[in-house]
Amino acid sequence: MLCGVFPIEEQSRYRGLPARVVRLWNHIYSLFPAPLLRRDCAVECLRAFFKWVAVEQPAHTVIEFPELRADSALFGILTETLAQDSLTHLVTDAHVRAFFRPKADAERYLASVGTAHHRHEWRRQERRLSETGTLVYDSLGSPQDVGKWLDEFIELEMTGWKGKEGTAFGSNASHRAWLEEVVRSAAQRGRLMMLALRLNDRAVALKLNFLSPPGSYAFKIAYDETLSKFSPGVLLELENVRRLHSNPAIGWMDSLAAPGHSLMDRVWTDRTPIISLLIAPGRFLGRILLSSFPLLRTLKQLWSKAVSR
């Protein structure tokens, strides 16, 4: 029985400091680089992984778990195991990102979003946009339609700043192929949620979510930047909040957004803490290095400032 999968990358130094790192690998389109663990044997899997690093890797090796949600089951099991086994560890980064948890109903949630001025402005923008044509909120129905929706999303994303900078899915054939494979697979499994704001049957905003009840993940959003004065992306995100409230199977949605994200931080009222950890897997040299990291990092910064002067 497969109990755990630990995708890793190995690095010879850590932020310029003299330590070898075994790092949980993070895909370019993921902000939750957690290993896959079977819940009923997660502790045994973690201990086996720590032991493998301690035995098979050089003595100055440390383990990095980057960007874990501190309110996740994995983080709880991980920190409890570290405490039980007295493993030296260090928090290297900590921040929060936008997170959705439903309130009693959608209207109560939306009444708590932004300021009264923001809410008035969004209603005004929706009304003004509807005056230019037929405005409809739409959702993907049949998985057979996913190809058409994907083409719309990729085309819309290409018209914006990501297309101009070459970071849109349509700018890279392999990235587009990855997106199509993942989205089609999610649709077949009932794990895909796609929403659209359409003006005269043309998508002016499209949103792509992945569902994993009781949770879900907001993956990407694209909108027509020529209509920015109407905030179509914000309007679709508000509709996303309404749709999530109508789905009792979904208890939360992770924005996967960078801290301080202008859209998500404004529309979503909750936050989830994100923590990065360094762990010494048991060897004396690794523990010494990890314990000295704060001092080494400070000395490195002071040295860089002195050299620049």
> How confident is residue 18, by pLDDT bands cut at 50, 70 and 90?
confident
Architecture of the 102-251 domain: 3-Layer(aba) Sandwich (3.40)
Question: Smallest Cα–Cα separation from 215: which of 27, 34, 65?
Answer: 34
**Average model confidence (pLDDT) across the chain:** 92
- Do residues 15 and 49 make contact, with C-beta atoms less than 8 angstroms apart? no
Same fold, 4-95+273-308 and 102-251: yes
The fraction of the chain above a pLDDT of 70, given in percent, is: 95
Give the model confidence (pLDDT) of 146-193 as tens digits.
999 999 999 999 999 999 999 999 999 999 999 999 999 999 999 999
pLDDT tens, position by position, 263-272 = 899 899 999 9
**Any alpha helices (H) in the chain, and if so which ranges?**
42-56, 73-84, 106-110, 116-130, 146-158, 161-165, 173-188, 232-245, 264-267, 284-308
DSSP string for residues in 263-308: THHHH--EEEEEEEEEE--S-HHHHHHHHHHHHHHHHHHHHHHHHH
- Could you tell me whether strands 4-5 and 20-24 are parallel, antiparallel, or unpaired per DSSP bridges? unpaired
> Given pLDDT bands bounded at 50, 70 and 90, which one contains residue 14?
confident
Q: Is the pTM of this model over 0.85?
A: yes
Q: What pLDDT, on the 0 to 100 scale, is given for residue 178?
A: 96
Look at residue 60 in the predicted model and tell me its pLDDT: 83
pLDDT at 283 over 70: no
Tell me how far apart the alpha carbons of residues 25 and 6 are, in angstroms, rounded to a whole number: 8
Question: What is the rounded average pLDDT of the residues 112-141?
Answer: 95
Is the CB of residue 208 less than 8 Å from the CB of residue 236?
Answer: no
Q: What is the pLDDT of residues 207-250, one digit of tens each?
A: 999 999 999 999 999 999 999 999 999 999 999 999 999 999 99
- Does the pLDDT of residue 300 top 70, yes or no? no
Confidence of residue 198 (pLDDT cuts 50, 70, 90): very high
Q: What is the mean pLDDT of residues 51-57?
A: 92
CATH of 4-95+273-308, one of 3.40.50, 3.40.1350, 3.10.350, 3.40.630: 3.40.630
Confidence (pLDDT) at 287: 74
Kindly state the average pLDDT of the residues 46-67: 92
Please report, for the chain, the start and end positions of each structural domain, with discontinuous segments joined by +: 4-95+273-308, 102-251
> Which element (helix H / strand E) includes 210?
strand 202-212
